[in-house]
Structure 1
Amino acid sequence: MSGGYSDENVRTKLSGLNDSQDSIVGVAQWIMFHRRRADRSAELWFERLKESSAHRKLNLLYLANEIVQQSKVKNKPEFLNAFNPIIAEASEFAYRGSPANIQDKIRRVVVVWRERNIFPQQIQGDIEARLDDIDKGKGSAKGGLGGGLKFGGSSMLGGSSLLGGGGGAGGSTPLELVPIMKTHKDVADQASSVTIAVGTANTEFQKQFDPSNLPPPPVYAARLSQLLKTLDTAEAAINGAIQARKAHVRNIERLLSQAKAALDKDEKAAADLAEKRRKTGETKTDVENMILRSMEEGGDGNGNDNGIEGERSKTPENRSPEIEALTPPGQIQSDPEPPTPASELHHRHSISATDPPAPVPFHAGASELLASLTAPLAHNGVGMKRANVDEGNVFEGLDEDLVNMFKNQAAETGGGQKRQKMDVPDDDEYRP
């Protein structure tokens, strides 16, 4: 075999594997040659299986079959011990999601393992149970996010993906799930190392402490020293898996907290909408009842209750106040005195001028006439017009000579008053 052992060389061998007999046997012999690195070879094999397509998964399973069968025949338990902890989950991972023809070939390999008793009965039963669960459509969460670690070999940490397989986040992965997918991948990567390391440590521990197969003390001391190194390796692997799983749990709890907050917000919105719907329904019922009552009482159903409003308008408290007509106040009219007989007036006129003039008994209307003629004129001309009207009423029924005498006397009296009223000193002195 050309080339020394290294992780890069192992990955190169696994990448160049094909389904031919020569390729599978050649790679199997190269890996078995480095039997002291059996644990690391099994770990790298499982990592490559997770990253491969369905057809390449089948080729890798053929390679594992060749290795474990040759180890069984040649009595090299290192590879059987390395594959025991991971073979059940690896078989499930290769079987899940593969086409039907590839699943049939994987089934035939599992049947060969049972017929030839390659693996312990417990591991063989676990392999078949996982494949049966996939066929029934149930799937298996063993070794996934909630899976545990069975020391000694039937199950492993973190192999199958709860969120869609062992691959990374797809292009349609929501942003909230990206951190979870990343930590999930870290858990899966740590799980492969943990299962191999822990399985090897448990197997070596049981072998070294088997009372029926104790070697001589010098050899036993050397084997115990090697067992301590194996246990240290397993402990380091399990501590790394614990840290990865804690980070994964934190991301899940963060997503759960966000989901709970969103749920609480949605529940409050739903309660608010329910309250608004209830209030709207009650209001609608009240409005419909009001319309029905209005129609029963004689209304038109639109809120115009003609009959009811008509009855209300007849009540005293709803009746509008009566409007009184705007009429001017009545004028006080005095009864005119009876006219003086003409014979008496003629007798008074014929009295001698030498006698002292006796007061002329004016007609009641004459005094009013004089008063109206001597009164100052109104600025707006209304008073003058009214005086003229009253003058005609006063002279009605009098003798024409008396009328002329009254007019002349009134004119003289009015003229003197006017002249006297006009003789006002023209200065600014205030006079009350």
Structure 2
Amino acid sequence: MSYSEDVVISKLSSVNETQEAIVNISQWVLFHRRYADQTVKTWAKALNDAPAHRKLALVYLANEVVQQSRARKREEFLKAFSPTIAEALENAYRQCSPDLQAKIRRVVDVWRQRTVFPDDVLKGIETRLDDADKKKPKQISGGRRIGQGMAFSLGLPLELSKLATAHSDVQSKVNTLGEAVASANKLYSAVTEADALPAPMEYASQIEKVLTSVNGALKASDDMLQSRHELIRQLEALLSVNKAALESETNQHGVLEEKKQKALDLQKEVSDMILGNISEPSNDDTNHDIDIDYSEDRNSPLDKEEESVVPDPVYKPLSETKPSGEKAQALSGLEGLDPALVNFLSSLGEKDGSSTPPVL
């Protein structure tokens, strides 16, 4: 198969973490070692654009290529990777989860143990990865970190985390699919719409390129369809959960409204009872200090006793005294005298048993 950038993109888009896929693609890459610079440039772009779960496969592919190059004592890819490998790995490392980062670190450790790259290149890689670790966002609730994709941001609940992951996966594949489809369409049009047919061998080579490109586009399309179906499934699951919750909460709201109305009615009844007791008091609550019936109290034994102890006046005016006939005749000559004197003289007469007071 002849070399072209579209073919490289197709190869890289189909790579996965299986040993078979990595070995087969690395052999094709090594066969076209004279295009090492262009291949590494395309690889770096694919690594940057790939979703997190595919970045590790591309790192494994680079590892296979450079280790095979060193074993075969071919310097093309070692020289091509050296200027760009540190930056490419740092970008991938920053976008990966901790478990993927640990696997990338493991690859770098193998490179140092086997002296795959010169010491300055290895030191540059390790320095960049260390800097990436130092600049990690602070931990938030749930142990997730901001900046590691939507699924790991903001301490999202499990349902939203799954949805965010599915959405991020779809978005990461949009550019890959678009590039693969555009390349396949371009090659297909060039072959099928040519004004004149080339020589059979050249024509067969062109058709092979078209098939390779179309297969790559189909692979990218399959990946996109799977991701899109997963996103829709997560959306439907989230929608279903929220619809059920909405129905339950609506019923609960209605029950609370009924309880509120019953409490208001009960409050009104109690208020009316309180106001009724204030406006119409019972006999026990009557204020006796306001209306008192004295009709019976005037003849009570207490009042009669009080009347019995009231002393008689020391004397009574003559006008209020009604003496007997004989006494009246005896006192007729005493008119004009002081009443007190008259009474005194009268009492002397009574003591002597005489009805006639003494003549003064």
| TM-score category of the 2 structures, normalised to the smaller one | 0.3 to 0.5
Whose Rg is larger?
Answer: 1
Bigger relative contact order (CA 8 A; separation at least 6): 2
TM-score normalised according to structure 2 size: 0.37
TM-score normalised according to structure 1 size: 0.32
